[in-house]
Amino acid sequence: MKNENLYNYILGIADNSLILGQRLGELTGHGPSLETDIACTNISLDLFGQVRSYFQYAAKIAGDERTEDDIAMLRKEREYKNVLLVEQPNTNFAYTLGRQFLFDVYHLAFLKELQKSADLTLSAIANKCIKEVSYHERFSSDWVKRLGDGTEESRAKMQEAINDLWTYTDELFHQTEADKTMVAEGIGVDVTKLKEAYYKNVSDLLLESTLEVPESKYFQKGGKQGIHTEHLGYLLSDLQYMQRTYPNMEW
Amino acid sequence: MTTTEQNIDQILIPILEKVSDPEIPVLSIMDMGVVRSAVIENNIVKVEITPTYSGCPAMDVIGDDIKVALKKAGYESKIDLILHPAWTTDWITPRGRKALEDYGIAAPLNAEADKDVLLNGKRLVKCTNCGSTNTRLVSQFGSTACKAQFQCDDCQEPFDYFKCLK
Ligand SMILES: [Zn+2]
């Protein structure tokens, strides 16, 4: 492949949306209320739509037989580059929305920078996605506030979710080798520069929600290198089942 | 309204106006603003459409419907999906806004008012049934990602609001 760094860079971005989209999709028919069920699955649909734009572009760069579906469905666990945060399970509604909030704040800041990419396709995708992700971020922030500043029980659950998920936030700002090359070429986003504003924005909203900002400095990493938590394997077996069982099947 | 980038051959307009949005059948795809260009080159119509939302499942159907409509009019066609410039609700024509409202979907407010109704609980969206603005947000996401759910506190009608996308 001529431009392997760009290919890997795109996968690194798209896999976050793919895996989070799949997680949210699991709530179809299982959300705590009809409205939140529909909201989570609509966000999932947005993310899958974004993934298609990225993977179609990646397939074009690969320039071989592979299609967007192959990239989405036929890789092995170690080949997925998503951050650990997005593969964490829907333990309860507070976890689902806490995970969403911690990702959305990052996602929005990331897309703002990606809009300036020297790669015109990536910049166009970012420009399209950012409008949708603004709504995601409003939705998840709103729920963190409602649950945080809600009843004693909702507050305790939201706090627990934030405390548990906090350990996966630092990885968002780690640079991979593909990242560094792409940043040098003016194509990629320097995620290390997003960190300070991220923790400030997240902390401000947590405090506004009467929640405590976790103080733990112990962080998990590995997703970007393909080393995942045990949860991803189960998610992928669900995601890939149809393609693995009936190869090349189409809807 | 930013429709200046549109490049549509005059003789194709009546054909394309007959293709409707599969999710909102009263609305023509032309009034929706998703057709960005349509030109005849060597007897083939090249059409560029842009999605309203990335995951909009209607796009594949719209592409197929355009092909069928053009075929009926005697044209072969090639449909391309483009992402830039990104679709905005500003591209919905006045006729499109009216069609939405007649269908029971409140048309998008401007960006600031949109934020006020979705985040700050302001009552500005006009009920599609009785016209009252005594309406409240039920959920930020409605039957599709592009809409939010509202309810009128005067006539109790539940309805969708097409969110502003800029
Ligand atoms: Zn009413």
Per-residue pLDDT tens, chain A, 251 aa: give them.
779 999 999 999 999 999 999 999 999 999 889 889 999 999 999 999 999 999 999 999 999 999 999 999 999 999 999 999 999 999 999 999 999 999 999 999 999 999 999 999 999 999 999 989 999 999 999 999 999 999 999 999 999 999 999 999 999 999 999 999 999 999 999 999 999 999 999 999 999 999 999 999 999 999 999 999 999 999 999 999 999 999 988 77
pLDDT at B1 over 50: no
CATH homologous superfamily of B7-91: Fe-S cluster assembly (FSCA) (3.30.300.130)
Q: What is the ipTM of this complex?
A: 0.81
User: What order of strands is seen across the sheet that includes strand B7-8?
Assistant: B7-8, B35-41, B44-49, B76-81
CB contact under 8 A, A138 and B119: yes
CA distances (Å), origin A115, targets A171, B85, B124, B164: 22, 12, 32, 20
Provide the shortest C-alpha distance from residue A128 to chain B (in Å): 5
Two structure tokens written together for A98: 């806490």
Cα dihedral across residues A25, B24, B146, A128: positive or negative:
positive
pLDDT for the residue A248:
86
pLDDT for the residue B58:
86
**Residue-wise burial string across A135-169, b where 16 or more C-beta atoms lie within 10 A, e elsewhere:** bbbbbbbbbbbebbeeeeebbebbbebbbbbbbbb
For residue A160, the one-letter residue type is E
In this prediction, residue B144 has a pLDDT band, given cuts at 50, 70 and 90, of confident
Name chain B contacts of A125, Cβ cutoff 8 Å. Answer: 83
Q: What is the pTM for the complete model shown?
A: 0.91
Q: Mean pLDDT for chain B?
A: 92
**Over the stretch B91-142, which tens digit does the pLDDT of each residue have?**
999 999 999 999 999 999 999 999 899 888 899 999 999 999 999 999 988 8
Q: Is A120 an 8 Å CB contact of chain B? A: yes
pLDDT for the residue B145:
84
CB contact under 8 A, B83 and A127: yes
Residues 173-212 (A) with a CB less than 8 A from some CB of B: none
Q: Is A242 an 8 Å CB contact of chain B? A: no
Q: Is A52 an 8 Å CB contact of chain B? A: yes
Q: What separation, in Å, do the N-terminal and C-terminal C-alpha atoms of chain A show?
A: 30
Nearest by CB to B83, from A35, A36, A128: name it: A128
Two structure tokens written together for A200: 């400030």
Q: Is A244 an 8 Å CB contact of chain B? A: no
CB contact under 8 A, B54 and A127: no
pLDDT for the residue B142:
85
Nearest by CB to B139, from A38, A120, A132: name it: A38
What sections of chain B are H helices per DSSP? Answer: 13-17, 29-32, 58-72, 94-103, 111-119
Domain residue limits, chain B: 7-91, 104-162
Question: What domains are defined for chain A?
Answer: 4-245 (1.20.1260.10)
CB contact under 8 A, A139 and B149: no
What sections of A63-176 are H helices per DSSP? Answer: 68-73, 84-87, 93-114, 120-148, 152-165
Query: At a CB cut-off of 8 Å and minimum separation 6, what does A11 contact?
Result: A54, A58, A71, A81
Residue A76 φ/ψ, nearest 5 degrees: -90, 160
CB contact under 8 A, B84 and A38: no
pLDDT at B5 over 80: no
Nearest by CB to B84, from A45, A46, A124: name it: A124
pLDDT at B2 over 50: no
CA atoms of A66 and A70, how far apart (whole Å) = 6
Q: Is A65 an 8 Å CB contact of chain B? A: no
Average pLDDT over residues B45-72: 92
pLDDT for the residue A214:
98
**Distance from the alpha carbon of residue B106 to the mean position of ligand 1, in angstroms:** 11
Name chain B contacts of A107, Cβ cutoff 8 Å. Answer: none
* Contact (Cβ atoms closer than 8 angstroms) between residue B16 and residue B69: yes
B15 strand-pairing partners: none
pLDDT at B3 over 50: no
